[in-house]
Amino acid sequence: MGFSLELAPQLRRQMAALNAITAHRLESGNRVSTRGANVIFWDVDTQIDFLLPGGRLYVPGAEKIIPNLHELTAWAGAHCIPIISSACAHLPGDPEMRTYGPHCVAGTPGQQKIPETLLPNRLVVPNRRVELPDLRSFLQVIVEKQAFDSFTNPNTEQVLQQFGNDLSIVMYGVTTDICVACAADALLDRGRHVQLVSNAVAALDEKKAASFLDSFRKRGGMLVRTRNVLRETSAA
């Protein structure tokens, strides 16, 4: 992983045009709403340690959402929808490790994202202030973090800003009750429009997940399903 090559300007213009077309199509669906905004996907912590049996913080049953994660990722790649992915990249001594035990330790296989949620043209943004390139050159931006909240990475605010203010954010990943909840709340706090793909998330604690989903809906968040995202945009 690392910095990918920049795309040629012509390809970037094509991607921007395709994204505009896709956003328009999304708007015409009655379940997936974009309010005329550009669509981005927000992929939360879809890493080996959480998703695969034998992972260090395996979420029971999480492997069942992998086909949907794969479809969403492939669809984004095919339609030039940018994906912002958060990824735990822990170091020994991170406070989270005391509560949940070691997981997603930087440099271990378990920290890797599952291949089903990776696009070839991606950039990894480490958890220290860096100068960001023009992110429109990438289909996937992976933001590393050492705490639940993606915005603890000092670059995340700017990453989001680069994709614009008027965005429709389609979110999925793990875990519904912890890092998905944290990311959704952080985006709602910033006045962002968030739709959660209900069959592409998995929880460690179903009760906490249900109470988050309740508050998410009350705050204006919407629930969609993978097939809505794909069906309502497949003609794009």
Q: Which residues bind Zn ion (CB under 5 A)?
A: 88, 96
Render 83-104 in DSSP notation, one character per residue.
EEEEEE-B-TT-HHHHHH-S-S
CA distances from 167 to 22, 112, 132, 187 (A): 13, 28, 20, 11
Q: Between 144 and 232, whose beta carbon lies closer to Zn ion?
A: 144
The nearer residue to Zn ion, 43 or 96, going by C-beta atoms, is 96
d(CA 65, CA 227): 13
Please answer whether residues 159 and 187 qualify as being in contact, where contact means their C-beta atoms are separated by less than 8 angstroms: no
Tell me whether residue 117 or residue 228 sits nearer to Zn ion (CB atom). Answer: 117
In whole angstroms, the minimum distance from the beta carbon of 95 to Zn ion comes to: 10
Closest contact distance (angstroms) between CB of 88 and Zn ion is 3
Q: In 3-state terms, what secondary structure has residue 113? A: strand
Name the residue number minimizing CB distance to Zn ion.
88
CB of 75 to Zn ion, least distance (A): 27
Task: Name the minimum Å distance from CB 126 to Zn ion.
Answer: 15
Q: Is the Cβ of residue 26 or residue 174 nearer to Zn ion in the bound state?
A: 174
